């Protein structure tokens, strides 16, 4: 019977848990260390708030050169932008800081209006190994993308190390690798959006990713108005309080759980639970 090894750490301002089932403690330890190092690498590289990160160099127009990983991520983001009718938009960063810095609703709305025309993935293109913007204002934030990508990278590390049973959980972005040692699927609880202290449903997954986006998780408060942390250029076309998506990758699940929170009419072949 395989032993259970649990590792807890924080990365990307998120509490993470890694559960590995194996008979080899050294293998489990080395796998967990590799996963942490990889997550830290991604955090440093794509940190929107660090002026010295690779992403900030792009946003500050200090560089427009892309390595293969960044090129691939940006191409995927542009494709998801298209697939979700413009809802999943990494350029929402163009107005993101306004929700953090502005103290008055009128100022927020005025500045948002002045920047709206620069929001949208059509404002940048990738030509060979360069990113080309059509203006000086559009910014990119991969925050809704990189944490999920880190989970998918963690799964690749586990598979490379021949581990066949594990659960990766980066702040609710989850991937279940194989089954538990008792041959049962992993069980993930979905919080009740009306009372997050209890579970509304429990879902069984195997070799699948699961993410949940919810309006109750984080908010911005400006004067008397509360804004969801899920920022959209257009008004929400959904009354959902939480959306859970199950797919074959954490990036895929994350993109659609976030997008469906904004517009419930978006089409996807993935498994979806709306509460």
In the 8-state DSSP scheme, what is residue 224? T
What per-residue confidence (pLDDT) applies to 35? 98
Virtual CA dihedral for 45, 233, 130, 51, nearest 10 degrees? -30
> Around 217, how many Cα atoms within 13 Å sit in the side-chain half-sphere?
16
Instruction: Let me know: does 244 contact 267? Beta carbons within 8 Å.
Output: no
> Could you tell me which residues are beta bridge partners of residue 165?
21
Q: What is the pTM of this model?
A: 0.93
Q: What is the pLDDT of residues 72-94, one digit of tens each?
A: 999 999 999 999 999 999 999 99
Q: What is the pLDDT of residues 185-236, one digit of tens each?
A: 999 999 998 888 899 999 999 999 999 998 766 666 778 676 665 667 665 6
Question: How does the average pLDDT of the chain come out, rounded?
Answer: 93
**Rounded CA gap, 186 and 208, in Å?**
10
What per-residue confidence (pLDDT) applies to 100? 79
**Rounded CA gap, 97 and 87, in Å?**
19
Kindly report the backbone phi and psi dihedral angles of residue 124, in degrees, each rounded to the nearest multiple of 5, phi listed first.
-140, 150
Based on DSSP, count helices (H) and strands (E) in the chain, helices before strands. Answer: 7, 13
What per-residue confidence (pLDDT) applies to 20? 98
What per-residue confidence (pLDDT) applies to 218? 62
Which residue positions in the chain have pLDDT lower than 50?
Answer: none
**Rounded CA gap, 162 and 8, in Å?**
21
What per-residue confidence (pLDDT) applies to 55? 98
Instruction: Let me know: does 5 contact 26? Beta carbons within 8 Å.
Output: no
């Amino acid at each position: 019977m395989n032993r259970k090894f649990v590792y807890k750490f924080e990365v990307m301002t998120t509490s993470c848990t890694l559960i590995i089932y194996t008979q080899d403690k050294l293998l489990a330890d080395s796998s967990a260390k590799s996963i942490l190092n990889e997550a830290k690498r991604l955090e440093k590289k794509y940190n929107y708030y660090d002026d010295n990160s690779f992403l900030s160099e792009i946003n500050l127009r200090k560089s427009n050169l892309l390595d293969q990983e960044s090129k691939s991520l940006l191409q995927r983001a542009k494709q998801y932008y298209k697939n979700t009718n413009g809802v999943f938009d990494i350029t929402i960063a163009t107005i993101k800081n306004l929700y953090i810095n502005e103290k008055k609703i009128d100022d927020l709305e005025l500045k948002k209006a002045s920047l709206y025309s620069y929001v949208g993935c059509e404002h940048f293109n990738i030509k060979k190994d360069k990113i080309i913007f059509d203006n000086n204002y559009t910014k990119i934030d991969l925050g809704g993308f990189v944490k999920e990508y880190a989970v998918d990278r963690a799964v690749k590390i586990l598979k490379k190390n021949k581990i066949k049973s594990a659960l990766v959980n980066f702040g609710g972005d989850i991937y279940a690798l194989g089954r538990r040692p008792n041959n049962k699927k992993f069980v993930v609880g979905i919080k009740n959006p009306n009372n997050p202290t209890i579970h509304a449903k429990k879902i069984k997954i195997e070799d699948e990713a699961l993410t949940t986006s919810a309006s109750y998780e984080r908010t911005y408060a400006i004067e008397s108005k509360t804004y969801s942390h899920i920022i959209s250029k257009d008004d929400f076309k959904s009354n959902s309080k939480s959306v859970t998506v199950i797919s074959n990758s954490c990036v895929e699940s994350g993109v659609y759980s976030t997008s469906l929170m904004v517009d419930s009419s978006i089409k996807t072949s993935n498994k979806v639970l709306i509460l």
